[in-house]
Structure 1
Amino acid sequence: MGFFIGVERNVKIYVEDINPSGNKTILFIHGWPGNHNLFEYQFNQLPKVGYRCIGIDCRGFGLSDRPWTGYDYNRLSDDIRSVVHALRLKNFILGGHSTGGAICVRYMARHNGYGVSKLALFAAAAPSLIQRPYFPYGLQKQAVINIIQGIYTDRPKALRDFGNMIFYNPVSKPLSYWIFQLGLQAASWSTAAIANTWLGEEGLFYDLKTIKVPTLILHGINDQVCLYPLAVSQKNSIKNSKLVPFEACGHFLFYDQRERFNSELIQFIEE
């Protein structure tokens, strides 16, 4: 069941609510530059074991509205809060991939984890996607600048190049093309704006330390986008957390190793 929820004046977010009568709820936040459809292979399986799965398209992506502004982590986490309020969600599991994971971290800090019983981070872009003087573990800043320049000059090529980084294990050309098309559905300005957010000082180092709920961290050892040391930093910062490394696995771990991914997530939900 798909519908739209207003998050601020003239801005609506698309929401897909699968198995609304499920006994436990998982709210999924996608990464850049996709949309909720990236979790297709979770939406196919998790409702079979009784879960309610909710996927949203972040503003500027998928079917959601595409305002010119509002692509910092504060506003994006406020959008989640609006969805949580509209759907009256309580005791739900919040899960985020890549930049979606960073948005979830900000939600936990900015909104005191409102309604969240457990947090799951999938190859999350936290505490920082790029290297900094005090954090030498991310991508080089120039790599992100190159992505942004590519979006403004040849967005299809930039997305193709990104697509070549996300898998460790080979995937079919149709699957690769499908993910590429999901990226093209986003507005070019929102695609660039999110990438610019990676360069800013978003303060996720502090945000991680505010998280108090049980947290699952799933991360591919061979991730070329959000490098594995990010997961170690998350584990060291979140007191009640569990890190599960995925061997022979890249950034899109929910495809690279989808059976194990789903199994680990279900086990965490049932604990």
Structure 2
Amino acid sequence: MGYFITVEQNVNIFVEDIDPGQGKPILFLHGWPANHKMFEYQFNHFPKLGYRCIGLDYRGFGKSDRPWKGYSYNRIADDIRIVIDTLRLESVILVAHSMGGAIAIRYMARHGGHKVAKLALLGAAAPAFTQRQGYPYGKTKEEVNKLIEDTYTDRPKMLEDFGDIFFERYLTESFKAWFQSLGLEASGHATAMCAISLRDEDLRQDLVKISIPTGIFHGKHDKICPFVFAELLQAGIKGSKLIPFEYSGHGLFYSEMKKLNKEIAQFIVS
């Protein structure tokens, strides 16, 4: 079932609520530059286990409205808080990929983990996506600036090139075309603005504010968010558990979908 939730005047967020019954809710936060449909192979699985799966498209992505402003981690975290409160969710399992992982961390710090029981970070773009003083990890700001420039000049080619380093394993041409189509559903401006947030945001001070059970699921061959990110997250989030994926790059939700689904299910009940 799909519907819209108003998060501020003239801004509506699209939500897909799969099997909205009495099951424990899992809220999925998608990565850049896709939308909630990237979790298709999780949405096929977890309702069979009795969970209520909820996906949303950030402002500017998928079917959500496309305002000119509002693409900071703070604003998107606030949108998520409104969705959770509007749906009256309790004991949420937050499953978040890439930029979604960064936004989930900001949500936990900014909103005190409001209504979230467990946090699963998948290839998270955190503690910081780009290199800076005291943090020699990730992409350079110049590399992200090139992504932003390419978004504004040839977005289809940018998405194609980004997709080429997203997955570690062989993909059919049909799958690659489908995955690229998710990025094309977004606003080009929103895609660029969120890349600016990826470039500039720093979550190192947010990590100590997370006190719930946290699972860190990360591909060993990730070319977008290198595996060292996962090690830094484990060191920074007290009591967190790191689960490496030996045969995955950034797209572990597909490359090792069976292992990921199994590991998330075990994490939820542990």
Partner of 1:235: 234
Deviation at 1:122, TM superposition (A): 0.3
Partner of 1:105: 105
Number of residues of Structure 1 aligned to a counterpart in Structure 2? 270
TM-score, length-normalised on structure 1? 0.98
Partner of 1:163: 163
SS at match of 1:171: coil
Partner of 1:215: 214
Partner of 1:247: 246
The reply on whether 1:126 has 2:126 as its aligned counterpart is yes
SS at match of 1:168: coil
Deviation at 1:22, TM superposition (A): 4.3
SS at match of 1:106: helix
Partner of 1:61: 61
Q: Which amino acid aligns with 1:147?
A: L
Q: Distance in 2 between matches of 1:177 and 1:22?
A: 36
Deviation at 1:25, TM superposition (A): 1.0
Which runs of 5 or more residues in structure 1 are unaligned?
none
Q: Distance in 2 between matches of 1:247 and 1:20?
A: 34
Q: Distance in 2 between matches of 1:135 and 1:163?
A: 26
Q: Which amino acid aligns with 2:208?
A: K
Deviation at 1:23, TM superposition (A): 2.2
SS at match of 2:204: helix
The reply on whether 1:135 has 2:140 as its aligned counterpart is no
Partner of 1:43: 43
Maintained 8 Å contact 1:18/1:43:
yes
Q: Which amino acid aligns with 2:73?
A: Y
Q: Which runs of 4+ in 1 moved over 4 A?
A: none
SS at match of 1:205: coil
Q: Distance in 1 between matches of 2:202 and 2:141?
A: 17
Q: What RMSD, in angstroms, separates the aligned Cα atoms of the two structures?
A: 0.7
Q: Distance in 2 between matches of 1:266 and 1:74?
A: 29
SS at match of 2:39: helix
Partner of 1:190: 190
Q: Distance in 1 between matches of 2:9 and 2:120?
A: 30
Q: Which amino acid aligns with 1:256?
A: S
SS at match of 2:154: helix
Partner of 1:12: 12
Q: Distance in 1 between matches of 2:128 and 2:229?
A: 8
Q: Distance in 2 between matches of 1:16 and 1:264?
A: 23
Maintained 8 Å contact 1:121/1:218:
yes
TM-score, length-normalised on structure 2? 0.99
SS at match of 1:206: coil
Deviation at 1:203, TM superposition (A): 3.5
Q: Distance in 1 between matches of 2:37 and 2:230?
A: 24
Moved more, 135-144 or 32-41: 135-144
Q: Distance in 2 between matches of 1:270 and 1:23?
A: 13
Which runs of 5 or more residues in structure 2 are unaligned?
none
